[in-house]
Structure 1
Amino acid sequence: MKKSLYRLMLELTHNPLYTVLLKRFSQGKLSRRVIPSFSKAFNINEEEIEKHVSQFESLSDFFSRKLKEGSREISESARDIVSPVDGVLTEAGKITKDKSFFVKGHRHSLKTMLGLDTSVKRFAEGDYCVLYLSPKDYHRIHSPCKGKITGRWALGKYSHPVNALGFRFGKEPLATNYRLITELKHDEKHVALVKVGALNVNSVHPVHVEESIDKGDDMAYFSFGSTVVLVFERNSVRFHERVLQGELTVKQGETIGTWME
């Protein structure tokens, strides 16, 4: 019952006023009282959290929790690409010739999502995968590979839910919601990491500002559950077979594919 209530509170809203109130509550000290109940309802592994649940100042603080060092194993192979988040890898596939991709049967425009013509041209007919984070998941976003940051930009203002209702009633939520985009260059291959906000609040917060980044480095965090889209250049990545089957639960740092030679 509590789990259903929490999920309803965090995922099923299109009302801006409700979301503002939810944001204020989750950031207020009063919300710390629900953290133990929230953690239990979603069966969150408290053993891997960097600090005890009693030390978090608010529910929002708990959402952006850090993990103990070594909680996630990350491949040391330079060819391996790892998941940037804990969540469900819902879809993976090819970007079409008309620069679009499909999520839950709904067409999304690469141009709308990325905005920059140079990036749209770069990733046309490339590959993509979508990772969805639910309220129970670890909400920090890490780099899927080692590389150099070639671009950072933000697009969008309003954020629809990114769950089933969001896809049913929203218009290309992954391409139109508020989103922070980071473009990386690994050797001569590029990847765009699109961090998509959820609900009516812009819930994506960057933490990495340097020009270079290592695989597994902390990049940003979500205040609420949301979605990350990875976009790769044509003929640059080979996803693992289990990734292509969709609906795969993954942990941050887990290998999802390899760079093609």
Structure 2
Amino acid sequence: MKTWFYRLLIELTNHKFTSQLLKNFAESKWSKVLIPSYAKIYHINQTEMQHDIHSYDNLHEFFTRKLKPGARQFINDRNIITSPVDGVLEDSGMIEADKMITVKGKQYSIKEMIGDDDRIKKYIGGKFLILYLSPSHYHRIHSPIDGEVITQYALGTKSYPVNRYGLKYGKSPLSKNYRVITELKTGSSHLLFVKVGAMFINSIECIAKHHNWRKGEEVAYFSFGSTVVLLFEKDSFEIHEYIQVPFDIKVGEPLGQINN
């Protein structure tokens, strides 16, 4: 009963019509009145915001806010993978031989997530990381490494929540939601950088149009709740030992080291 009820709520809040209504409201001038209470409820750090809270014309502008220059620092070491987002490292583990990952006790198909069976062969036996962004987080996405974009493409349409309950009760949100997949090459290693949208169709806005990304540069942003999945080739990445799931992390902070 609990599972059925939660899935019903997910369907209601992620229907195209209701999602569009919420999106229209968030982008309207009428939503501006909610910004102060939103900032209070979610404990938004206003001192690091690029603009004063009263300068935002609607809730969507506030949700996708930028930070002041220097609010996030990035490690210069080219072999260190830094967090591309502010969020919580919700899970990590091994990419299994049958092309599955297990997140919160639930299995997800990498083939379904990536949509390219040939591309994922070199990631079998590698590591994966799941980074979840709550409504309280900064929602701009930055490159985790200096790298060359090998390919970038989008998959999926309907989006389910990607919070803890969505991962548990949703219909495979990591492999069915609207998502943008970027494959990066850094040195001799490759990684898959998957941006997973939530709530709204096409909730990921890509900014970087060039093919050589620099660590720390802004490459995209989420226009609503979201998750990032990082997939590494076998023997190419080691997460730092002090990181224990769940782990709060900010853009630019180290996740681990890539072996080139």
TM-score bracket for this pair, using the shorter chain length:
over 0.9
Within 5 Å, which residues of 2 pair with 1:160-175?
160-175=160-175
What's the counterpart of residue 251 of structure 1? Answer: 250
* Partner secondary structure for residue 241 of structure 1: coil
How big is the shift at 1:200? Answer: 4.0
Q: Which runs of 5+ in 1 are unaligned?
A: 1-8
* Partner secondary structure for residue 118 of structure 2: helix
What's the counterpart of residue 208 of structure 2? Answer: 208
Write out per-residue CA displacement over residues 117-175 of structure 1, whole angstroms, 9 at most, x where no aligned residue.
23211212211100000001000010110011100000011101112332233221111
What's the counterpart of residue 197 of structure 1? Answer: 197
Mapped to 1, the partners of 2:116 and 2:28 lie a distance apart of 37
Mapped to 2, the partners of 1:28 and 1:66 lie a distance apart of 19
What's the counterpart of residue 5 of structure 1? Answer: none
Query: Letter of the aligned partner of 2:130 in structure 1?
Result: V
Identical pairs, percent? 44
What's the counterpart of residue 176 of structure 1? Answer: 176
Mapped to 2, the partners of 1:14 and 1:219 lie a distance apart of 26
1:24 aligns with 2:48: no
Contact 2:200–2:224, Cα closer than 8 Å, also in 1: no
Contact 2:167–2:173, Cα closer than 8 Å, also in 1: yes
What's the counterpart of residue 113 of structure 2? Answer: 113
Within 5 Å, which residues of 2 pair with 1:92-103?
92-103=92-103
Query: Letter of the aligned partner of 2:151 in structure 1?
Result: G
Query: Letter of the aligned partner of 1:52 in structure 2?
Result: D
* Partner secondary structure for residue 69 of structure 2: coil
Write out per-residue CA displacement over residues 192-212 of structure 1, whole angstroms, 9 at most, x where no aligned residue.
110001014321110011010
How big is the shift at 1:37? Answer: 1.4
Mapped to 2, the partners of 1:177 and 1:242 lie a distance apart of 31
Contact 1:80–1:259, Cα closer than 8 Å, also in 2: yes
Query: Letter of the aligned partner of 1:257 in structure 2?
Result: G
Query: Letter of the aligned partner of 1:66 in structure 2?
Result: K
What's the counterpart of residue 56 of structure 1? Answer: 56
Mapped to 1, the partners of 2:33 and 2:74 lie a distance apart of 34
What's the counterpart of residue 3 of structure 2? Answer: none
* Partner secondary structure for residue 145 of structure 2: coil
1:34 aligns with 2:34: yes
Query: Letter of the aligned partner of 1:156 in structure 2?
Result: G
Mapped to 2, the partners of 1:90 and 1:164 lie a distance apart of 9
What's the counterpart of residue 4 of structure 1? Answer: none
Contact 2:203–2:224, Cα closer than 8 Å, also in 1: yes
Which range moved further: 203-212 or 32-41?
32-41
1:46 aligns with 2:38: no
Mapped to 1, the partners of 2:169 and 2:89 lie a distance apart of 22
What's the counterpart of residue 70 of structure 1? Answer: 70
The size of the alignment, in residue pairs, is 251
Mapped to 1, the partners of 2:165 and 2:91 lie a distance apart of 17
How big is the shift at 1:31? Answer: 0.9
Contact 1:180–1:195, Cα closer than 8 Å, also in 2: yes
Which range moved further: 150-159 or 197-206?
197-206
Query: Letter of the aligned partner of 1:248 in structure 2?
Result: F
